[in-house]
Structures are given as structure tokens and as C-alpha cells.
Amino acid sequence: MTTQDTTQNAPEAVTEGTATEVTATEGTVTDGTATEGTMADPGTDPAAGQQKARFGPVGWLRWFWRQLTSMRTALVLLFLLALASIPGSVLPQQGIDPAAVSQYYSEHPALAPILAKLSGFDVFGAPWFAAVYILLFTSLAGCVLPRAFRLARSARQPPPKAPRHLGRLPQATSFPSELAPARVLESAAGMLGKRRFRLRTGDGWVSAEKGYSHEIGNLLFHVALLGLLVSVALGGLFGYKGNRLLVEGDTFANTPTALDVFHPGRLVSATDLAPFSLTLRRFDATYITSGSQRGEPASFNAELSYAKQYGGPTHGYDLRVNHPLNVDGVQVFLIGHGYAPVFKVTDGSGRVVFNQPVPFIPIEQSGLTSEGVIKAPDASPEQLGFSGVFLPTEYVTPVGQLASAFPAAEQPRVSLVSYAGNLGENGGESQSVYNLDTAQMRMLDVAPRPLAPGQSITLPHGLGTLTFTGYRQWASLAITYDPGQVPALISALAALAGLVMSFLMRRRRIFVRATSDGGDRALVEVAGLTRSDAAGGFEAEFAELTQAFHEALEAGGAGARVKSKGE
Amino acid sequence: MINPALAQISNAALISAIMAYGLAMLAYACDFAFNKRQVAALTPASASATREKVGQAALVGAAPGSDLADHMFGAEPADISQLADLDDRSGGASGAGSGTVVQSRWPTGSWLRTAFVLTCIGLVVHVAAIVTRGLAEDRVPWGNMYEFIAAITCAAVLILTLAAVRFRAYYMGLFVLLPVVIALVVDVVVVYTPAGEVAPALQSYWIAIHVTAMIIAIGMYIFGAVTTVLYLLAARHEARVAAGRESAVAGVMAQLPGSAKLDQLAYRAILFAFPAWTFAVIAGAIWADHAWGRYWGWDPKETWSFITWLVYAAFLHARATAGWRGKRAAYIQMVGIVCLMFNLVGVNIWISGLHSYAGLPH
């Protein structure tokens, strides 16, 4: 981060001077982790020290920026973001389950409006949630950018000089060698160079450094997180999602009006929707028929035909869960299914005023008992309405209630309550097709008998008849387009790669000093230091490296001895 | 189709594994009680010597004004290795600590050998239970809570054995097996679900990728959490000993390495678990995109895995922040494991969402 390092102003003095153990270590660990000018830096601004007491606007800005980009703030923001997410998992969310939000309103009439004001039902779109993550990402950017510059700079600089007292470093060893100091250093440079260390040599020492990929990985991780945020924003601006319930045999075109639910991105207009149309030809569901899992679904298959352009050539597709349809980047998913019993309503004058399938909505999954309403506004002399349940496999419970024993339509029945009067559709307010407003209607006295396919109810007072002619199935489809999808995946994988890189790689330095023992032999000192040995293992690497070096010198020394004997 | 005979074998194998783990725990406890290689207890003098050095090392990282030296890159890992070194050195110098233990890769002492062999037998039988369950169902055997717990505990024991050999962390045996056995007993008694098929939503090869990664990451997080609990106990114990006070856990602590070693082991576990978790979440997002049409939808399970991710990220950052490493970071890790467990158990029980098929049997 952009903080000042007490030792960095004079690293040379520390490494070359007779420093204390602690500062010697620190001096070699930090390599010009220079301040970024966001702090009063005595090195660049001598007057800064005196400015400390009185903050001007710029001073305050600097102070604020330094606070924001500090590690402690990042920590606090991480926690805040975690905390801020919790209500989103506890309270029902408008974007995920609007029905649960309505239910929450009816259960907590006093609390719900207050929560709504605080964006409690839209936590992840709430201004306060955005404030936290924007601050976090600003903090992240404010940290990563200076670090990237620093990395680029230090990659161009040679490794630092070797400290004078190598024995004080965390990893250090020394041994005598029969070779002359110069030969020892030559050998050290050769070995370290072969291991792709960056080298710097000086009078009596070799300094080597390796492992920038640790920092590159770390930067990659954080930059990739920024990329992820941008990708999500991209999806929010240019993507859209919609739902459509489709009964077997029905066709729909991908337009905003044809979708039951449509959530366009901020920059999406009606003409941006991919102009495909699709037909649900047939829906099949199979269920487990025996054992403890009886009634649970085994497979769903929606047989579609679709055309990429209106009126274009059609293609077939078997739409299943985990097997979406992709039409020019727009994806179609199977997200629900149910039954649509078909009704024929004849009014008092003998006219057929209604003859179509009516999607019923499942209210439980083990037997797919479903609810729905039928509205016949054109019936005369009075408008007719019916509400009731569809039972795929009817059975009567011991207490005499109707229920469904199995989700497949093995013994399909409907049980309806009949109303006559005013459906209340003239008020101008658009009504849900799944609700019957019975405020201006009266319940008709019809024997409560479940209907089998083909059976009818004859309404009293010559108001008409209703026939349950059969049933079809429906599938609900989600249609989504998200241009941020691929960038998000790339960002996420890059973040993961950066994470692994930064955890596995370590930045380390090896120093070798060779001094003459007075004769033609050398005393060799080797020391190592790691800056980021997260996963551990530098100790082992250092031991291995030292041993290899030692053996190489021994061999060289033996060679020298043989050579001298030969002479 | 379900093969009931194989399913029966799986059930029997899982119970056998629990028994082997139970016996292994007993043997680990006997090893603590009777082994001859008693590690010399920390004396107040050597403890304070360690503390002094550790204090210096901490000072290195915490040089005035440098605490935030690097957002996320910090000088922290250098400190860790230094802490470990100092620990070793002071141990060696004073003749205490791990310096006197024979540094063999394999367990030493008959009790410990017995315990480790039992652990390995338990693990093999545990794996067999999972494999036969998968064969009985002809699918990847992590489609419900029962199977998921069996797999997570298996991962935890696998990680225990690997860590034991790799880092000579045999002392972890008792402490990891304890939660494993408890979880497995609950799994068999309360959560048991007969072998069966899975919902269409789970019929995807992504279950093998997403859930497997989750299992490995969670096993690692659990190992890290157990180690961190020991670290907190050890740190407390060392502080008390250094202050010349009685420590109630001196007997157990004599069997464990110092707090610095435990801290490092726990950190390594999280360093492995965090990328694994990240991968698992990404794989989950890809699958979600494939199955539900969006890669992220703030489903409660997703939200809590995000929260867990944030808390562990905070842990990693805390490790790089002066004044936060050590105990405070350990507490953050504890918060992380609580979030993780809430996601596994609490979200399934109390909050309904798209992942609710992963829940308990009704």
C-alpha cells in the first residue's frame, strides 16, 4: 500500500552499513517499496513535515485517499460487504422471488414498508450495498495501480547489493572452499544464473533474485476482480431476461410484449431482442414410481421447434434442465412446468364463450396439485368465473379432502367453485389471469363434485355449462441474454490463476559472499531471504540450493587439486 | 437403477469406517498419554525467549508506518517463515520444543503407529463406502446431505493423513477425527437418506466438478479451523506459561508444537482451501448459468458462499496487516468456518432457495 517505509529512504546505507539485525533484515526485504506521493514524503517534499499539523483541502483529500487505500480499510470493507449481504439471504428479494415479497408484506404489514424504504427487498441493488462495494473496489484500485508501477520499476532495477553480515539473515550458512574467492563467486553466479535468478555482482559478493510471478499473480488476481465487476455491469446494461409460460401447441415470438416477465438492461430497447420464435410442441415429465422417492421428478423434456427469424426455417430442439437452447447468443432455459386443463364454457344463450387451455399453477410438488381460474367475460346474461384445483392423480384423504397422490396425470380431476356476476375487469386496472376478483360476484350453488375429462357442470338458473374437455401441459421458459457472461468467466479464471500463482510462487533472494581466508582458499557465506513464502518451502529450496552449490564447489576444488597434482 | 445390495455394503462400510476412526482416536489419546517421546514442556524461560524473538520478528513486519506495506502482498509470509525459524532455533537452543523429536516422516511409537494405521484403514473403508454408494446409484455420490457429509468428512481425513505425513502433523489426528466422528454419527443416525436418484436439476456432469471442489475446499477449511483452535489454545497456554501462571492444558500442549507452527499449518490449509473454494464457486456459477440461465443470482446458497469467500479473503488480508496477524486473524478464520457451516446446514434448514434439493430428507 501507499505507506511509508522507515527503512526505504536509505536502503543502501542499511545494507552496506553495520545495521542491527532487525533493520538489516528489513532493509533487504523491502526493495524500494517507494511511497507514491500520497504521504508526506521527506524525500521529495522537504516542507511536508511541517504541513502535518494543518490540513488544507488537498491534505484532507490525501489523508482520505490514504485511509481508503489502507489495508485496514480494505479489511473493514470486506467485512462490511459480507455483513451487507446477509439481509439479502434472509429477506425475500424482489428480483428472485416476488411472490415471497408479497407474502412478507401480508405477514408483516407494519415492518415491510420500512424494510422496502431501506431497500431490504432489493439488497443487491441497494445504494448502501453499492456504496460498500464501490468503496472496496476503489480501495483495491488505489492499491493495485501503484503496486503495478512499483513492480514494473523494480523489474527494471538490478537486485540489491548483498548485505555485509549474511549470518544475520533468516537462512544462512557458511563453509570453507578450496577455491579462490573469485572462482567461488563465478561458480555461484553460474549456478544461480542457470536457475534463472537475476544477478548482480560486486566486490566479493553475488546477489540474486527470483520470483516476480508472485507479485504478478497477486496483481492479476485483483485486476481480474475489477474485470469481474465490469463484466457484471456489462450484463446489467446490455443484457436482458424474461420469462414465458407456454402451453403445448403454443408459439411465441421473442418480443417484450410476448414475455410474461421482462427485465431489460438499462440500455436495452425492444428492438434489441433477438427476433426468434418458438413453439412448445410437447412436454414430457417422468417421475420415480416406487420407493421412498416416489413422486420425485426423474426427467423433463420440452420438445421445441424454433425459428431464428420470424417466418424463417424451423429447427427442433429437446429442451431439458441443464440442457439450454442457444439461439444466436440468447439462451432459453426450462425452469418450470405444470398442467393446463382445457375448458369449454357455454353461456345461457348456448354460445361457446370460452374454449381453451388454462395454465394452473402448482401449489405443491409431490402431487402437483395446481390452482387456477377461468374467466368468461363474454358470457351472458351474466359474466362467469370459476376457481379451483387440478389434481393430476386424485385421491380422497381419510378426512374426506381431495388431494393428488402423484404428479403424473394418472387420474386427472378438476374441482371448481362457480361464480356469476361482474368480473370487475372494466375498472381499467389490468388483472392477473391467475386471480379471480369475486367482490361483485356470487357463488353459485353447484354440487361439489370433481370432474373427470369430458364431464360438465350445469350452472343453475340457466346460466350455462362448463365442460372439462381434457388437459395439456405447460412449460415455463427463461430467456436470457448476458453479454457480460464470457468476460465474467475470463475474469474469474484469471483471478483464480493469479491467486494460485501468488500462493505458489515466492519472491526470494540469495546472497553469496566469498572472502579469502588469508591463503588461496575462500570462506563462503550463503544467505537467503524470502519475501512471500506463503505456501512454505523456501527453507527446503535454500537447503537444496546450498547443498548443490557446496557440491559443485567441492567438485571444482577436487578438480583444482587434481590439476595441481598433475602439474 | 438402484442396486440395493451395493447400497447395503456402502452403509455397512460407513459404519465400519466410523468404528475404525473411533479406535484410532482412542489410540491417538493413548499416544498422548503414554508415549515416551514426551516433548519437554515449555518452561517459562524458554517460552519468554521465544516470545522475545517472535516479538522482534513481529517488529520487522510492523516497522513503524509500514504496517500496510502492501495491500495483500505484505511482508507477512516472510514473517511466517521467520517465526517458524525462530521457533525452531529457540527450541533447539534451549533443548525444548520440537528439537528433541526424532524427525521421521512416519509415525514413531507403537500407539501412534497403531492410531495412524487405524486412520488409514478407516479412510480406505470410508472411500469404499462412497465408491459403493456411487456404484449402487450409478451416479456421483454427492446428491444429498447424507452423501455430502460422508464425502466432506472423507476429505477431512484424507487431508489429515496427507498433512500428517507431509508436515509430521500426527498430533492433529485426535483433533480432526473428533469432529469427523461426530459428523458421521449424526450423518448416519439423523441425516441418512436411502440410495436413490437425483432431481433433473442435479443430472449434470457439473456436479462432479462443482461439488467435488466444494468437498475438497470444505475438508481443507475444516482442517484449518481445527488447527486454528489448537493455535488459539497454544497461544493462550504460552502466554500463561510466560507469565509464570498455571496452564490447564499443559499436558496436551506438551504434545503439540508451538503456536507458531500451528499458525503456519492452519495458514497453509487456508492457502489451499481458498483457491479451491474460489474454483468451486466459479464452477458453481458456470453450472448455474447452464441450468438456470444466470451465473450469479444471489440465491441464499450463493450469497453465503460469497460471504464465506469474503471472510476468508479478509483472513488472508489480516495475515498481511500488522496488528491483525496472530490471534485476530485466527478469530476471523473462526468467523469464516461459522459462515461456512451456516451455509452447509443453516441455509438448508431455515432458508429455501434454488439449492434446497441439497437439503435434509423430509
Please confirm whether the linkage preceding A163 is cis (ω < 30° from 0).
no
Write out chain A residues lying below 8 Å of B7, CB-based: none
Interface probe, candidates B56, B67, B72, chain A, greatest A C-beta count within 10 A: B72
- Between chain A and chain B, the number of residue pairs with CB atoms below 8 A apart is 214
**Grid cell in block for residue B121:** 484403514
pTM: 0.81
Closest Cα of chain A to B131: distance in Å?
A: 22
Contact assignment for B81 to A538 by CB distance below 8 Å: yes
A355 contacts A425 by C-beta, under 8 angstroms: no
B360 contacts B296 by C-beta, under 8 angstroms: no
Tell me A205's DSSP state: E
Q: Where are the domains of chain A?
A: 11-156, 166-211+506-566, 235-337+479-494, 338-472
pLDDT in tens, chain A (567 residues): 333 333 333 333 333 333 333 333 333 333 333 333 333 333 334 444 444 556 788 888 888 888 888 888 888 999 999 999 999 988 988 887 788 888 899 899 999 999 999 999 999 989 999 999 999 999 999 888 888 898 888 888 888 888 888 888 888 998 888 888 888 899 999 999 998 899 998 888 999 998 888 889 999 999 999 999 999 999 989 999 888 999 999 998 888 888 888 888 888 888 888 889 999 999 999 998 887 778 888 889 999 999 998 788 999 999 998 899 999 889 999 988 999 999 999 998 889 999 999 999 998 888 899 999 999 999 888 899 999 999 999 998 888 888 999 999 999 999 999 999 988 877 655 667 788 888 889 999 888 789 999 999 999 988 999 999 999 999 999 999 999 999 999 999 999 999 999 888 888 899 999 888 777 788 899 999 887 666 667 888 898 999 888 888 888 766 555 544 444
What's the pLDDT at A63? 85
B173 contacts B115 by C-beta, under 8 angstroms: yes
Whole-angstrom CA distances from B353 to A105, A439, A490, B285, B361 are 19, 35, 27, 15, 16
Closest Cα of chain A to B242: distance in Å?
A: 23
By the CB < 8 Å criterion, does B75 face chain A?
yes
Residue of A nearest to B79 (CA): A531
What's the pLDDT at A429? 58
In the three-class reduction of DSSP (H, G, I as helix; E, B as strand; rest coil), residue A71 is classed as: helix
User: Cα-Cα-Cα-Cα dihedral of B182, B184, B189, B190, to 10°?
Assistant: 80
Q: Write out residues 269-288 of B within 8 Å (CB-CB) of A.
A: 271, 274-275, 278-279, 282, 285-287
Residue of A nearest to B302 (CA): A89
Q: Which residue(s) pair with A455 in the sheet?
A: none
Contact assignment for A70 to B68 by CB distance below 8 Å: yes
Tell me A434's DSSP state: T
How many whole angstroms separate alpha carbon B151 and alpha carbon B133? 11
How many whole angstroms separate alpha carbon B239 and alpha carbon B259? 10
Write out chain A residues lying below 8 Å of B290, CB-based: 322, 324
Write the residue in A26, A322, A485 that is nearest to B60 by C-beta: A26
A9 contacts A43 by C-beta, under 8 angstroms: yes
What's the pLDDT at B320? 76
Tell me A512's DSSP state: E
The stretches in chain B having pLDDT less than 70 are 36-103, 352-362
By the CB < 8 Å criterion, does B295 face chain A?
yes
Contact assignment for B347 to A89 by CB distance below 8 Å: yes
Q: Which residue(s) pair with A282 in the sheet?
A: A303
Largest CA-CA distance found in chain A, in angstroms, rounded: 132
Per residue, the 3-state secondary structure of A124-136, as one string, reads HHCHHHHHHHHHH
Write out chain B residues lying below 8 Å of A531, CB-based: 75, 77-78
Does the complex come out with an ipTM higher than 0.90? no
Write out chain B residues lying below 8 Å of A297, CB-based: 199-200
Of A286, A226, A96, nearest to A488 by C-alpha is A226
Contact assignment for A5 to B264 by CB distance below 8 Å: no
Contact assignment for B78 to A533 by CB distance below 8 Å: yes
In the three-class reduction of DSSP (H, G, I as helix; E, B as strand; rest coil), residue A230 is classed as: helix
Write the residue in A85, A222, A292 that is nearest to B307 by C-beta: A85
Residue of B nearest to A32 (CA): B69
B356 contacts B106 by C-beta, under 8 angstroms: no
Residue of A nearest to B198 (CA): A298
By the CB < 8 Å criterion, does B203 face chain A?
yes
In the three-class reduction of DSSP (H, G, I as helix; E, B as strand; rest coil), residue B316 is classed as: helix
> Cβ of B190: how many Cβ atoms within 10 Å?
12
By the CB < 8 Å criterion, does B204 face chain A?
yes
β-strand pairing of A361-362 with A370-376:
antiparallel
**Grid cell in block for residue A13:** 546505507
A166-211+506-566 adopts what CATH topology?
TATA-Binding Protein (3.30.310)
Closest Cα of chain A to B305: distance in Å?
A: 10
B65 contacts A520 by C-beta, under 8 angstroms: no
Using the Cα atoms of residue B233, residue B236, residue B242 and residue B244 in order, give the sign of their dihedral: negative
Closest Cα of chain B to A422: distance in Å?
A: 39
Write out chain A residues lying below 8 Å of B313, CB-based: 78
Phi, psi angle pair for A150, to nearest 5° = -65, -40
**Grid cell in block for residue B68:** 500496510
Contact assignment for B296 to A232 by CB distance below 8 Å: yes
How many whole angstroms separate alpha carbon A377 and alpha carbon A385? 8
Whole-angstrom CA distances from A505 to A223, A528, A533 are 18, 15, 7
Write out chain B residues lying below 8 Å of A82, CB-based: 306-307, 310-311, 314, 339
Q: B218-238 in b/e burial notation, b at 16+ Cβ within 10 A?
A: bbbbbbbbbbbbbbbbbbbbb
Of A447, A459, A341, nearest to A394 by C-alpha is A341
**HSE-CB for A127 with a 13 A CA cutoff:** 3
Closest Cα of chain A to B298: distance in Å?
A: 8
A376-379 own/partner pairs: CB under 8 Å, 24+ apart = A376/A345, A376/A347, A376/A464, A377/A423, A377/A425, A378/A347, A378/A353, A378/A354, A379/A345, A379/A347, A379/A348, A379/A353, A379/A354, A379/A463, A379/A464
How many whole angstroms separate alpha carbon A394 and alpha carbon B45? 81
Contact assignment for A539 to B298 by CB distance below 8 Å: no
What's the pLDDT at B356? 55
Closest Cα of chain A to B16: distance in Å?
A: 25
Position of cell 429437446?
A318
